[in-house]
Structure 1
């Protein structure tokens, strides 16, 4: 099973180690993760954003280590895309494109623009909570 985690899931996993997104990341040995250079760049921008970095006391070293761990745990794809499905938040299209290029089975996101799609190109789009239920069902 291959999974693409949206940026908001990666961020939540880091800033709340007891939350559902962190639980998903800790279960990553049970499935394959994929991401893209574009999504990693977005994640880095978010984590280094001044207000977020200060609020959660994220040092440059913490962010660097987190990004390196993700690179080691994920298949990292590099591609260009022209998917324009989500008009309200065009950045969400990068998540869809990554999932398509990775031939993913699932996208996990907390973003309503993606969740409302429910499925795209045969890829199920689930909230973190829904994905944990799916993992339990498959176990």
Structure 2
């Protein structure tokens, strides 16, 4: 699953102790989804983390380590020189362009203006909570898959049918969250 996290989600992820943003960070770090970013997102993130709110709470080392882990564990996409104007704020156009270039399944943002778009090309735009719920459902399906695999090997039976059923459930979960599930 390809995911773009907006700058506000990334900046919040560095300090989140629990809740949906912490869940998203942990899912990313554990490899539950592939994070896709771009240089404009990294640049905006570094500017955001340099503002007084974050700089008074985080050391330069913490910020540097976080940005370094982003670069090391995500796919960085080049953005075309010309980015069409879609959003009401120019910075948001670069976020949308990143999602388009990444062929992202989801763009996760706290920005109400971006959330109002709901979709951009084939990318579903969601707030953190519904995406966190989606990740929990996927993790539950992964747990079921591990249990089914273990039970099948213990009994010496084929697990292919069980795996297909669970993989189908994971795909249904992703598709249901790409539709309007859980959003008013």
Q: TM-score, normalised by structure 1?
A: 0.91
Pair 1:11 & 2:11 matched: yes
Contact 2:36 2:74 in 1 (8 A): yes
CA separation in 2, counterparts of 1:137 and 1:85? 32
Larger Rg: 2
Contact 1:4 1:104 in 2 (8 A): yes
Higher fraction of strand: 1
Tell me which residue corresponds to 1:23.
Answer: 23
Cα deviation 1:103-126 (Å, max 9, x = unaligned): 111000000011001111021000
Structure 2 counterpart SS, 1:83: coil
Paired residues in the alignment total: 136
CA separation in 2, counterparts of 1:51 and 1:4? 24
CA separation in 2, counterparts of 1:119 and 1:91? 17
Tell me which residue corresponds to 1:95.
Answer: 95
Pair 1:118 & 2:154 matched: no
What is the 5 A alignment of 1:41-120? 41-54=43-56, 57-80=57-80, 81-87=82-88, 89-120=89-120
Q: TM-score, normalised by structure 2?
A: 0.70
Give unmatched runs, 5+ long, in structure 2: 142-184
Contact 1:38 1:78 in 2 (8 A): no
Tell me by how many angstroms 1:135 deviates: 2.2
CA separation in 2, counterparts of 1:46 and 1:12? 10
Contact 1:12 1:19 in 2 (8 A): no
Tell me by how many angstroms 1:10 deviates: 0.8
Contact 2:21 2:132 in 1 (8 A): no
CA separation in 1, counterparts of 2:65 and 2:21? 18
Tell me by how many angstroms 1:132 deviates: 1.4
Contact 2:109 2:125 in 1 (8 A): yes
Moved more, 18-27 or 115-124: 18-27
Larger RCO of the pair (alpha carbons < 8 Å, separation 6+): 1
Structure 1 counterpart SS, 2:14: helix
Tell me by how many angstroms 1:45 deviates: 0.5
